[in-house]
Amino acid sequence: MSGPSNIVGVLLAGGLARRMGGGDKPLRELAGRPILEHVIDRAKPQVETLILNANGDPARFERYGLPVVADVIDGYQGPLAGILSGLEWAAANVPGATHVVSFATDAPFLPGDLVERLRHGARAAGKPLACAQSGGRTHPVFGLWPLDCRHALRRAMIDEEIRKIDLWTPRLGIQHVEFGVLPVDPFFNVNRPENIAEAERLVGAP
């Protein structure tokens, strides 16, 4: 089963993982498998087309069989650059695509209904953008982005040097979609070395 053909999923793995000591954070192991595999297992059924945004040698991700798309703006400019890269790739490569949905690749418990709920939330609120929130925190890297916004985003990044998602999204209008946090916050992210042990414990949660 796959999700809607007009929405392209982009796995954001283009960062430098400074807080993890560098390297590819999504390739760190959790419960005997790379974190990225846990994320792919949850993201892939939600979209028909899934790509991986990553910089450097794409061969290290070859085993996953996904198109690897580098940032279209040089210099490791953060998740907003990955979102722009996904939007521009989808516009050029997926006829009929209307949206991109972005997934962080350090969140192994992400919701299996993320895409569906973001679509519904944006539509019900009449907003072009949507992102997840849980436990009083927003998670803008888990967002729904219309392809129509790619030109405005590129201008904001190039001309205004905007790098924070939250500085840009209010211009277009964004709906925050609430997700529950029991028994596990689905947006728990493995951001630091000490988070690995906590994630190992949560893997066994019901």
Q: For the chain, give every domain's residue range.
A: 7-203
Judge whether 105 and 12 are in contact, CB under 8 Å.
Answer: yes
Residues of the chain with pLDDT under 70: 1, 15-23, 205-206
- Residue corresponding to tokens 């595999």: 37
151-154: long-range pairs with CB below 8 Å, 24+ = 153/80, 153/83, 153/84, 153/87, 154/84, 154/88
pLDDT score, position 20: 44
- Flag whether the pTM goes above 0.85: yes
Q: For the domain 7-203, what is the CATH code?
A: 3.90.550.10
The amino acid occupying position 63 is R
pLDDT score, position 2: 72
Judge whether 18 and 58 are in contact, CB under 8 Å.
Answer: no
Structure confidence by residue, pLDDT tens digits, 187-202: 999 988 788 888 988 8
